[in-house]
Amino acid sequence: MKEHAIEIRGLRKNFDHFSLGPLDMNVPRGGIYGFIGPNGSGKTTTIDLLMGMGMESAGEIQVFGLHHRKNEVEVKRQIGYASPDLNFEAWGQVGRAIQFTRGFYPSWDQSYCEKLLSAFTLTHSQTIKTLSFGSKIKLALVLALSHRPALLILDEPTVGLDAISKQQVFSELLSAVEGGERTVLISSHGLTDIERFADSVGMIKNGKMLLEGTTGEVVDRFRMVDFIGSPGARWEHTAGFYLVGQDQDRTRVLVDLKLGGLDDIKAHGAHEISTSPVTLEEIAVALGKN
């Protein structure tokens, strides 16, 4: 348990038209974990269950070795959470939202809060209702970060942010995990940012984990392969191969080197084979379509 900030075992949540799990997930301590997958894959459902919003149908979630329900207060005091769905308008002004939130956290660092407000160009006197969507995201991040939580859970934290603001957010996240004392779980469709900043990733689809590991290991596991083969050859259902494109006899597939390789392609009569490294985004798109 000590090496993981979050351990999920056999997690299930059943809805009328969607079922999450069974899902196993391991978030290492002291780094940034990118939680990725297509829309509707179960990312937000998993985070909601982790935060105690809704009841799981089966399975167990532990945070720093503590059961997320039996030790709910202790767990939540160690978590900072930000999402575009959070609404702070009821507090009227930015300063009032800060005053209310900091009362729940003995570890609140007001000087750090002021630094974040300045970096995100927010002031205490601003009316929350009149803030832009991007500024409301920034406020959620200020409230999530200011008590210096051991675990940050961020659901699409860069939605609506410009390039400069995104850079500021990731700069703060990198500072947060310096020294290995804090952990960040970030769910995002910004896969270029995830590949650049995340130490490890978990990719889910249809409620189940497809891939999990260090970002480098996951990316190095795949290759994009172009070749000429039989015009009628089909690759959609061949283990380890994910069809990316096909035009008559020319084919492009993403290859999972753990499950398949060039010898398998040659065995299907392919020739003029070329390979190239891939990005995390290319992997996610190919696996999401197949």
* Domain residue spans of the chain: 4-218, 221-289
Concatenate the DSSP letters of all residues of 112-175 into one string: HHHHHHHHTT--TT-BGGGS-HHHHHHHHHHHHHTT--SEEEEESTTTT--HHHHHHHHHHHHH
Position 85, amino acid:
D
Q: How far is CA 97 from CA 13, 23, 116, 186, in A?
A: 32, 35, 14, 23
Summarize pLDDT for 150-204 with one digit per residue, the tens: 999 999 888 878 888 888 888 888 887 777 778 999 999 889 989 999 999 999 9
CB 222 within 8 A of CB 283: yes
Average pLDDT over residues 223-248: 78
Place of tokens 């809805």: 15
Say what the pLDDT of residue 134 is: 86
User: In the sheet that 19-28 helps form, which strands lie side by side, from edge to edge?
Assistant: 19-28, 4-14, 58-63, 66-67
For domain 221-289, give the CATH number.
Answer: 3.30.70
The per-residue pLDDT for 237 is: 62
- Tens-place pLDDT, residues 162-171: 888 888 888 8
Query: Does the structure show a pLDDT above 70 at 226?
Result: yes
How do residues 68-109 score in pLDDT, each as one tens digit? 999 999 999 999 999 988 999 999 999 999 999 999 999 999
Q: Phi/psi of residue 130, each to 5°?
A: -90, 0
| Residue 121 pLDDT exceeds 50 | yes
User: Which of 203, 201, 158 is closest to 38 using CA atoms?
Assistant: 203
Going from the C-alpha of 163 to that of each of 115, 137, 220, the distances in angstroms are 20, 14, 28
Instruction: Tell me the fold of 4-218.
Output: Rossmann fold (3.40.50)
Query: What count of other Cβ atoms lies within 10 Å of the Cβ of residue 192?
Result: 11
Name the band, by pLDDT with cuts 50, 70 and 90, for residue 5: very high
Amino acid at residue number 210: L
